[in-house]
A and B are shown apart, each in its own frame.
Chain A
Amino acid sequence: AQSVTQLDSQVPVFEEAPVELRCNYSSSVSVYLFWYVQYPNQGLQLLLKYLSGSTLVKGINGFEAEFNKSQTSFHLRKPSVHISDTAEYFCAVVQGGSEKLVFGKGTKLTVNP
Chain B
Amino acid sequence: NAGVTQTPKFQVLKTGQSMTLQCAQDMNHEYMSWYRQDPGMGLRLIHYSVGAGITDQGEVPNGYNVSRSTTEDFPLRLLSAAPSQTSVYFCASSYLQGRGEQFFGPGTRLTVL
Chain A interface (Cβ within 8 Å of chain B)? Answer: 9, 32, 34, 36, 42-46, 49, 51, 90, 92-94, 99-106
Instruction: Report whether A106 and B42 are in contact in the complex, using a CB–CB cutoff of 8 Å.
Output: yes
Interface size counted on chain B using CB atoms at 8 A: 26
- Chain B CB within 10 Å, residue with most, of A32, A43, A92: A43
Chain B interface (Cβ within 8 Å of chain A)? Answer: 4, 31, 33, 35, 40-45, 48, 50, 58, 90, 92, 94, 96, 98-102, 104-107
A99-B100, A100-B33, A103-B44 are known contacts; what are 19 more A-B pairs with Cβ within 8 Å?
A32-B99, A34-B100, A43-B105, A43-B107, A44-B43, A44-B90, A44-B92, A44-B104, A45-B104, A46-B101, A90-B42, A90-B43, A99-B50, A99-B98, A100-B45, A101-B92, A105-B40, A106-B40, A106-B42
Which B-chain residue is minimally distant from A4 (CB atoms)? Answer: B42
Report chain A residues within 8 Å CB of B31.
99
Report chain B residues within 8 Å CB of A103.
35, 42-44
- The binding surface of chain A is classed by DSSP as strand
A41 to chain B, nearest CB (A): 8
